Each structure stands twice: as C-alpha cells, then as structure tokens.
Amino acid sequence: MKKRVQLLPTAIVLVVLLLGVFGCSKQQERYADPPWLGGSSIETLQKRGNYTIYLKLMEKAEYTVPITKQLFTLFVPNDDAFKTYFTQQGIASVDDLTKDEATNLFTLHCLRNPRSRYQLIYEYVWSEEQGPHGEYAALFFRKPTVSTSLPYYETARYEPNKGKKYLMYTGIKLVPCFSIDYFEDFFGALDGSDYTYMYPNSKWGDNLNWGNAMVIEDPLRVVPPDETVDQRRNAAAIRTSNGFIFLLDQVVEPQLSLEQYLLAHQDKFGVYYDMMQRFANYTSPKTFPNRGNEIGYLKTYDLVSNIAEEQGAFTGNEVRMKDMFTGYLPSDPVLTDYLNKKVLNTYANLDSVPEVTLYYILQTQLGRSLGLISKISKSYFNSFGDPMVINKSDIVSQHMCSNGMIYEMNKVLEPNVFKTVPGELFFNSNYSTFLYCLNQASMLTSLSNPGQPVTLLAATNDELYAYGIRYDKPSTKVQYKGSDGLWKAIKTDDLNIFCEDHIYNGVKSDFSGQGYLEMNSGNFISYNNNALVGCENQYKKDKAVITDTKPNDLNGILYYLNNPIKSKYVMGKFFTTNADVSVFKDALVKTKLLNPRFVDATTKDTIPNLTFLPECSYWTAFAPTNDAMAAAKAAGLIPTETEALKKFLLYHFVRKNAIFDDGGNTETLMGLSGTYDSDRILATTVEGTTYAPLKIVNEPNKLTVEDGTGKVVTVDHSQADILTRKGVAHKINSVLIFK
C-alpha cells in the first residue's frame, strides 16, 4: 500500500501535463507558424492576387491537393507572363489545355520537396554535400521533374522495323537551374553572356534562371539598407509553411528532346536525322490503359549517342544532373554539300555507305557536355577526344532542348580519324571491307592519333574476298572462309593479327629499297622495289605490290596494295611442307615437339604446331637439310634416346629473336651479331633457366652460326630468310652440336 500511495501523485502530474499540452487551444497557439513564415504556398499566392492563372493551372493538373498536404518548391510566373505565353501558343487560357497538357506544363514549374536557393545550387550526391568547396560544387544544375512529353506516333524508316508505326513515350524532363555559381564552377562567363547566348529571348539576373525563365526578386520584400549581394540572392526564395516559392519573369516552355526537336524540324535537320534513323531502336514496351491498353515504346540508338534519352549523355541519378548533350548540327544544305563532295564520290547513296563512316559523321556532331560559347570558342574536345575550336561565326542559330543544346552549324565537324592516315578508307567504296576490319578490331582510334606516326597498308574488297575475308552486313561481322568452304565470324585474335600485319608504328616513306620490317602483329615482311611479302605471300609466291601512296601531314602514310599481307604460314607448316627438311621434321614429330595434325578448336583447320613456340614471341630456326641429317647420322651425332634427341633438336631454334641475313639491318634492330640463347635447356634453378648459346655473325647475305663445338656453319643466302609467323627459318647444310 505504501508504494501505491507514493506513485499516485506522479500519475496525477502526468495527466495534468498532457491535458495542458493537448487539451487547451490557447496553449496550441505557442506552436503556430512564426509570423515571418507566412501561410502555405497556395495561401501566399492567393493573397498576392496576380498568380491566379498559375493556381488555375495547378488545379487543372490536379496538384492542388498534393501541394496543400505536402512539401513542394514552386516556380511561379505571374498572370501577365501566362497571358503572354498563351498568346504565343495561340490559346486564350488554361481552359484550352487538356488535362495532360496542363499536367506537363505545371510539373515543369514545381519540384517535390522544399528547396532553398542553396539547395537548388548544391546537391547531396555520392554520400557528400557538394557545397561551395565540394569536388563538383555547383555542377549538378539539372533538376528532375515529373513532367514528360505527351505520347506521339512515329514510323520506323529502316530495317528491321521499316514501316512500322509506334506509339512513343519519353522519360521525365530535367530543367536546368543556372546560377552564377554554376558558371563560375564550370569556368563559363560570369556576366551572363553564356546564358543569353543559349536563350536569346531570356534575361539573366545574376541569381537563378529556371530553364528559360529568370528568377525575380520578391516585389513585396522590404530590402534592408545594409543587405549584401549574397543576402539579396538568397532572399529570392519566399519561404512558406510547406515549401519555397521562386517568382519567374516568364513561363517555362515545354521542351522537346533533341530527338523530338529534330523530328519536328525536318525542314532544317532532315538529312542528319534521317542518317540517325539507321541506328534507331524501339524498346521498353509499356501499356497505356488510358489509350485502350495501347503499347508505347522508348526510342534508343545503337552506337551513336541516344539523343532520345531525357537523362542526357550519361544516365544515373547523379550524373544526369551534371551533363547534357550539345548537338553541333549542320543544316540540310551544309550537310548535303559535305556528303556530295566527301562521301558520295564512290558510293551511289547513303544506304551503301559503311555504317562506321556514318557513325563517325553523326557522333562528331554530338558533344556529351554542355557547350558554353565562351568555352568552345577557345577549345573543345569532341566525343572522340579530338581537339577543335568552334567560333560564333560557325553557329547560325541555337535552341535549348530538354536534354541538350542544339547549335545550328554552317559547317560539318570532322573527327581526326577522317583527317589522319585511315581517313580515305571511310570514303572509298573499294576499301570498305578493310575499314570494317580495322573498326571491328578497335584500331581506328590509335591510327587517328596525330601524335603517333603510323604506316598503314590496305587491300581492296575484291582482293580480301579472294583471300577469304568479307564483311557480312546482316550480322555486322567480319567473316572468313574456312577450309570447309563456309563463311564464319573471324576470331578476334585472328582479326587483330590480320589488321596489325598491315600496320607499322612509324612512318615508312620508302619501300623502293630492300629489307625487312616488323609489323605491329610481331610478324615480319620483306620488301624489295615496292613489292611487299608476308610469310604466306612468300610461300604462295603472290607478293603485294604498292599501287598508290597517300601521305598525310598529320601522322603518316597510307599505301594501297594489289594484294593483302598474308601471314597464315606458321613455322610448323614450313617443316611439314618443305621436302628438304623432312628428316628433321620427322624427328620433331617423333619427339612430339611438332604436332602435324593440330586442329584449331574454332576454325577446325589443321595447323601443324610446334608445341614450344608459345614460350616466346620471336623465333629463328636453323633447319638442317636431309643431306645434313644423313651425314650427322652416319657420324653418330644424332641421339637415339628421346630426351637427348629433344635437346639436339631444340638447339637449332633461337629464342626471342628473328635473325635475317641482312647484316642486322632489320628495322627492329633484331638479329645483330652476338651470342643468343637456343631453346636447349642447360639448367633450371630458382634464379631462372640457362639455355645453350649459339654465336651469330650477321653480315649482308652472309649469316653464320657457331655451335658449342666451335664449328661455324654458313647459311646459303639462297636457302635463307624463309618467313614464318613469329619469325624466320634458314636451311643449313650441317647440324648444330652442343658440346
């Protein structure tokens, strides 16, 4: 009883306190909104009286209730601004808008959640606030709304969907919020000239601009006499009990995406847009119940930038707020003139032009960040990283879209790849297959680097087809013709080797002399009086002759050939096809150093394979002739035990070097006179492997090799320099012995 008596007063006190808080209306007045906060956003606009059209638009868009109950940021033009806008649109009032039109327009003028001026400028992304001193500071200038374009219809122009009519819908629109802070952090013009260049019919007020509209100061605010610039700017946000209001000097116009704008302006950009449609896709089917369950689609593009993507060049919650497209788009007369003069000389029409050529033309005109005139007139890097300058004199007009800026250009921007060594291949119908090879092998970028001198060799479509290489348009793949006569997609490694057989890093301006050259593939070619020979060319006796020379001032030279460089002649095939070394070959097979019937797992071709070749990138073989092997056998110099025979055979192969009898003049500086490792192992320790040496003396047309017994073997020039993949072979008239 004693404890119960003690608890009773405490309970009574709690009841009294609760009644005091919740039961007395006078006490509630303590927690009413402070006088400086004012009423709700809607009440604030109602009291001011000249925002009736905005409120009516809000009502028709069915946003009055959400804004009454939730927190919003409103961007509000006055009645006069709306009347001007309606006149421009040819309508009288909000009543002339459908509900969907009203929703799309109104939602460009509001953001969910209350945002002060500071919060509009600086976003919290990637787990940190990007304030004035943040890494990205004010660069997140695009604000996602819930506005979308009204569904519309489009007919596909090209296969595989040619002629099909689609209902199209879009993603949500983002409105750019430009501030003095943004231009400072993006290194733009601080006087507003960048903004007014993008929006010629708008004003810049050094504070905030919401899309095409300027945020204006609150006309009812009492301005303190000692107010700073920052205080004035921040005071533009009218605080209410459920958010913020920013007053605008004009209505924010519904924006078309780049995709929609080009579709709507075929009179100006029809040629460019039509070229784009060759890369178009229709994806993400979505049911529209209010349209009889009709299926709508999103537009996307392969290869070229997806100008239909409302998020812009980069997608994701954060990056979409930081970047948008810039289209530097030539008008129809400009682009047509360029195509006629540059592209359609050897191609009958655009349908026959390689997609890779169209891709580079289209993509070079598309930037992946906002191009401010103050910046691009000093320096600009296109989508491929090529530097260029775009002057005001190059621009005819400008228009801001929902996902990027369009500058109408009086010229076509060209990528470096058109102006460097491979450039002519893009416009010559006779070399389209080789162009596709380079593109599929991803080598065009390196070939177009002005800082990298390069020599490029190219053969025609017909010559490549005869060799067994073609481009298959339906599969968009380079194919080869197998030994079974069927065309199949070429292996990546094989394609890379084929292309690199035709590329030399450096400028080789003269093939009129005689010598050897290592190509990017690591394979060697020989040249003599403008005739070039790869290992397979040499074997088949079908040299490649230079038919034309195209020097380039930027980075090198292009040679046209009457035959491709061929390198499908491996060292194993030399041993299996040359009757003069058949005895040495039999010994290689016996010891399993050579598999004469190795079958490629992909191509199913039979390729004689020396099993130890993968150890090194370069090899030289000194192959004893049958007579040399017979003499050695008679002298008891050839071991009969398998492991000993292996060592004997491997002593005839030089590791890591391709040594020609050219006096060491091969332009790779390989094959100089000196001591070289054979592939015969002497010892293997924790410190590495020791190989039996061979001493080489290299003089022009007189190559000698000294073995471990001190015997010097001279290579007959007529039996020397047999090119193979990964190196070279020489026939010798005596075996090599290690003592």
Q: Under CATH, domain 258-415 is a member of which superfamily?
A: FAS1 domain (2.30.180.10)
Report the share of the chain in percent with pLDDT over 90.
Answer: 88
Report yes or no: 488 and 482 within 8 Å, Cβ to Cβ: yes
Task: Answer yes or no: are the C-beta atoms of 614 and 569 closer than 8 Å.
Answer: no
Instruction: Give the model's pLDDT for residue 600.
Output: 74
User: What ranges do the domains of the chain cover?
Assistant: 37-148+179-221+230-248, 258-415, 417-561, 571-732
pLDDT for the residue numbered 28: 42
Mean pLDDT, the chain, integer: 92
pLDDT of residue 670: 67
Q: What are 572's two structure tokens?
A: 């194993």
* Same topology between domain 37-148+179-221+230-248 and domain 417-561: yes
Per-residue pLDDT band for 24 (boundaries 50, 70, 90) equals very low
Structure tokens belonging to residue 626: 């049958």
Give the pLDDT mean for 477-488.
92
Residue of 622, 707, 696 whose CA lies nearest to 664: 696
Please report the pLDDT score of residue 37 as a whole number: 60
What confidence category does residue 288 fall into, taking pLDDT thresholds of 50, 70 and 90?
very high
Reading the block at residue 159, the tokens are 């296969």
CATH architecture of 417-561: Roll (2.30)
Residue 673 — pLDDT band, cuts 50, 70, 90? confident
pLDDT above 50 for 16:
no
Q: Between 257 and 668, name the one with better pLDDT.
A: 257
Per-residue pLDDT at 18 exceeds 90: no
Q: Is the per-residue pLDDT at 326 higher than 60?
A: yes
DSSP E strands in 571-687: the ranges are: 594-595, 609-610, 619-624, 653-655, 674-685
pLDDT at 38: 66
Own/partner pairs, 533-536, CB within 8 angstroms, 24+ separation? 533/723, 534/501, 534/565, 534/566, 534/567, 534/569, 534/723, 535/566, 535/567, 535/569, 535/723, 535/724, 535/725, 536/566, 536/567, 536/568, 536/569
Per-residue pLDDT, 5: 36
Q: What is the pLDDT of residues 34-51, one digit of tens each?
A: 655 668 999 999 999 999
Distance CA 689, CA 427 (A): 53
CATH topology of domain 571-732: FAS1 domain (2.30.180)
Mean per-residue pLDDT for 57-81? 97
Residue 687 or 460, more confident: 460
**CB distance 75 to 252 below 8 Å:** yes
pLDDT exceeds cutoff 90 at 703: yes
pLDDT(532) > 90: yes
Question: Chain-centre distance of CA 342, in angstroms?
Answer: 24
Q: In sequence order, what are the residues at sequence separation of 6 or more whose Cβ sits closer than 8 angstroms to the Cβ of residue 670?
A: 518, 618, 657, 658, 659
Please give the pLDDT value at position 20. 41
pLDDT on residue 599 = 80
Residue 1: the pLDDT is: 34
Residue 321 has pLDDT above 60, yes or no: yes
Looking at 365-430, list the stretches that DSSP marks H as alpha helix, in order from N- to C-terminal side. Answer: 373-376, 416-419
Categorize the per-residue pLDDT at 80 as very low, low, confident or very high, splitting at 50, 70 and 90: very high
Looking at the predicted structure, is the pLDDT value of residue 604 above 90? no
- Residue 114 scores a pLDDT above 90: yes
Q: Is the pLDDT of residue 527 over 90?
A: yes
Chosen CATH of 37-148+179-221+230-248 out of 1.25.40.80, 2.30.180.10, 3.30.1330.10, 3.10.105.10: 2.30.180.10
